[in-house]
Each structure stands twice: as structure tokens, then as C-alpha cells.
Amino acid sequence: MIDATALAEKPVLHGTRIQLVPLSPRHAAAFHTTFQDPDVRRLTGTHHDWTLAELQDWCSQAAGRTDRLDLAIEDRETGAYLGELALSQIDKDNASGSFRISLAAHATDRGLGSEATRLLLDHAFDRVGLHRVQLEVFPFNPRAQRAYEKCGFEVEGRLREALFWEGEWHDVLVMSALAGCRG
């Protein structure tokens, strides 16, 4: 059974090299810098050009949201911002939710995204009580797809030509992880 109050709690989740902490205004500037990177925008399909003020507002409201969990990924030793992730679109009746993650360019290719994903999935399944977590990834991002598969996600389907990016249509892959099938 899902515990919806778990989304109102904003935990700190400790990994080996990282920690997931509640997203707050102190992360806004680094969050903004991350989304100025054209490759980060492409890999996340982000069309909106977030202003620093918009992200400061978003980060300041994160602690009060009871229907989702937004966390910053930080280096465990230095506290440096490495990215952010979210558990959202919670369907209480079907014990499912959606997941997204975005890493700063300097945090890629080190397994940090996989570590963060596993931490959040453990929380989603063990504390929140979700049965299923889904995400969307683009076929032009095979590195992310492999990382998700290592964490227990499997491709379920394809949304044909669902992303329009730089003058071209791209498919979107839908992946999910189940509570009993962790990677």
C-alpha cells in the first residue's frame, strides 16, 4: 500500500559517493547553469529556456510539495551540485509514479546517475510503497538507457515521433522498473 505522506517528507538519502538532498533555493544557480548546456537540454528534451528567477521559484517551492519529491544530487564529500531528480505523477490507486533525472555535464560517465537512480528507486519502493516507476528516454541517448537498464528498468514501448528537436521528429522510449525486479 502506498504511503502518500512519504512524499511530504523530504529525506536525505546517502549513497557511497553521493547524497540526495531536498531541492532548495541554494541549488537554483547550479541548476540554471546545468540547463544552459545545449547537450543537457537535448538529452532531457527541454525546450523551455528556464530563467534563474523561474528556477529559484521552483526550488523554493519544492519543500512544500506533497504530491512529488524533488531532490538535488550532491557530491557526498564536498556537497557540490551534480544534478537533480524527481519522483512525480503519483497514481495512488495503481501505486505508480514517474521518474526523471538530469546530471550536470561534469557529473556524467562516472556511474553517479545510476547510484542516484538506485537510491531514489529504493525510497520509492520501500518507503513510498510504489509498485511501478516509469520514465521516458530518447533513443539518441543510449548511455542513459543502459544506465536505466542496470537499475532494473525495462523498455515497455515507444511513443513514435513524440519529440520535435532541432527540426526533426524523434521517438521516445518508455521504460519502467517494478518493485520486485530491481537491478
What is the structure's pLDDT at 41?
87
What's CA 170's distance to the chain center, in Å?
A: 21
3-class DSSP state of 68: coil
What is the per-residue pLDDT for 182? 64
Helices and strands counted in the chain (H then E): 6, 8
Query: Each residue's pLDDT tens digit in the chain (183 positions)?
Result: 789 789 999 999 999 999 999 999 999 999 999 888 888 888 888 888 889 999 999 999 999 999 999 999 999 999 999 999 999 999 999 999 999 999 998 999 999 999 999 999 999 999 999 999 999 999 999 999 999 999 999 999 999 999 999 999 999 999 999 998 765
Pairing assessment for the beta strands 168-178 and 132-137 based on DSSP bridges: antiparallel
4-41 burial, b at 16+ Cβ within 10 Å, e below that, comes to eebbeebeebebeebbbbbbebebbebbbebbeeeebb
